[in-house]
Structure 1
Amino acid sequence: MVQYIYLTMEVWMRRCLILLAAGILILAACSGRATPTSNVPTVAPSPTPVPTAAPVATCQAVPPFFDSLHPVNVPPITGADWARGPADAPITLVEYSDFQCPACAGTEPLVQLLLEAYGDRIRLIYRHFPLTSIHDKAQIAAEAAEAAGAQGKFWEMHTLLFERQQEWAYLPADQAPQALANFARELGLDVDRFTRDLEEHTFQPKVMKQYQDAVAMGLTGTPSFILNGRLVSNQGFLPTLIDEILARSTRYDPPTMQVDPARRYTATVRTPGGDIGIDLYPDRAPVAVNTFVFLARQGWYDHNSIFRLDASLVLQSGDPTGFAFRNPGFQCSAEVGGLSFEEPGVVGLFGPSPNSSNGKFFITLAPLPDLNGRYTAVGKVVRGLDILQRIPEQASGEILLPSLEIEHIRIEEQ
């Protein structure tokens, strides 16, 4: 029972992170930056003919998503930094932020949930990057946080500045010191000392040094996050990247052939809404079926969420992080000649491009012939299709429904 509760909380936390991160992906930062996109099956404008024979597929090792990020030379962490989490945590997240930046305030719930979700496995370092050219009170707010920190209340002031940003960020500049002093009073600080530190700009050198460091690293906006020495272009990817780093031990080499094309294989997908039975076709797509069987037996699909749902068309899963960016350590070329997507319930694999697959899968909820020749079909739902077809009706845009979890996939060979 204890283990069941633990897994349930893990899944709940993961889904909360998915919701927040999905929103963060489209949240504009305090300077414009492009958002990466993933390749997931979509309906083409016109159908492509199904090849008469599937090509021989091959698999190759691929690096983690994290390894594609740009490394930056981050100034060393010192005792002068504001840190949360143990120094020996496997994850170090350095945040360069601006208290007056709306995107920074909007990202704060995600940061707090990351700290809660990963506990002693993550360490957060907060550094100042006041964009004074567009935020006239960013500098004094940063100094206010430092002044509160000098009295042992940095993180409390940090929280107030973000949570109540609307109360001070748009005031006339000459009224900001009084608003900040009111915050200090709420926190029980020595207000006279706090006000004197602001008037004398006691902590201006520290704030400006961190600003200059950010500029020297080439940071262009806030919030900017550096994860284990690599710059994260969009904070919405943080849960995926952190999971990937922590799960390095679960990356796999391309699997050897484990299935016999002459034998019959079935997959039973266990969900809270009931079991779904799938007949796999190793004679039509042996490499793709082998990938699916291997990952299912390794537990790769256990407690996966459905990370994309196009009502009445298709649902997608197969990434333990709940996004479409993590890979298991390998990807395979496509085998598109064996099966078509002419009817509901066809199971296909996909990857970073239409002619590849890396274990993520989709199930059609309607005939989708436009996918023919573009993605590898590995099997067909023979039991429980009604469970899947009810999900769009139940979901109504809500990703947290229990029916959207894949608890386990059992493979049987006959």
Structure 2
Amino acid sequence: MDTLTLVIVIVVAAIVVVGGGAGLVVSGRRRKAALPKPAAPQAPVEQAPAREPEPEPQVGDEAAPPKEEPRRTVEEVELPGEPEPAAAPAEPEKPALEVPEPAAGRLVRLRSRLSRSQNTLGKGLLALLSRDHLDEDTWEEIEDTLLTADIGVQPTQELVERLRTRVKVLGTRTPDELRALLREELLTLIDPEMDRELRTARHAEADPSRPAVVMVVGVNGTGKTTTCGRIARVIVAEGRTVVLGAADTFRAAAADQLQTWGDRVGARTVRGPEGGDPASVAFDAVKEGIADGSDTVLVDTAGRLHTKTGLMDELGKVKRVVEKHGPVDEVLLVLDATTGQNGMVQARVFAEVVDITGIVLTKLDGTAKGGIVVAVQRELGVPVKLVGLGEGADDLAPFEPGAFVDALIGE
């Protein structure tokens, strides 16, 4: 090997030795930098107590040692008895039956209510007739008073003429004489001779199995269903039994309302589906009355607008269907006394469709137009048989002409 080659080998070896030492130095520094700093001392953490191993699940009493129990023979074992019958469900309590007031004398009891609202007619006439000089102006006032009370034109003219004649003949007019004179003339105008009997008795002679049939008709808003329930109370108060027929199938809750009235006095109510055929319900009610041996069947019809021809024709159909059992004994027209002459229009139309046998005037205590009693009787030729004088259940009274006139003119 020559000198140049030897020198090159020595230089290379020196470079290798120097490079390796530098690498060791750098590696040493990096290892020192990577060492973490010692952490600050911390409070010792309490360790949770070790959980005891859960016991292995057992299998009922089989895992326990058997227990000694007394054994019974077959003869000692009691056999189960027959099961007790289930108790019957309790029936709902029926409302206590009410005892309606006797119908006789009701109008006398209610006369004070009537007199309070009729002062315009009775006391007004007495005041005018008591004037010292009865000139034409006074007689015109008397006539206006009568017309205002809805007596009607023709009855008013007749009454004024009779009063003129009798006052002229009487001469001296004391208050008692005038009151007696006015009472007599008003009583004549109301016609006490008209038959006001309410035919609700069973047909004992002609057909003992057939009850009396009463139809109640009228327009909407007159309190017809309420009046029908009150009539049932009048019938019960007279000692008769009654079946109610809820033939008003068009007005919501009309049948419920009528049944409530019937339940209060122990009267059965025959009803049909809402919107059903009213003639069918009326027919079934009469059939039920015959089967039960009732004295009276009271049929509440739907309120009819007297301007609706189709509805009025249907009312006639109800009457014809009911008459398949026999003739209808009463057709009572319910009129609101406060409607005045409009009630007269209703009365005429109803009289054309069904034969009205009597009038029921409601709300007579709330109006001074008591003269409608005269007007409606004159128009239809049928009597007022019942009058309503309040809101109570027994405030429907048989019409008594004498008591009515006494209420008009006062004591």
Same fold (TM over 0.5): no
Higher strand fraction (1 or 2): 1
Higher helix fraction (1 or 2): 2
Specify the structure having the higher radius of gyration (Cα): 2
TM-score, with normalisation over the residues of structure 2?
Answer: 0.25
TM-score, with normalisation over the residues of structure 1?
Answer: 0.24
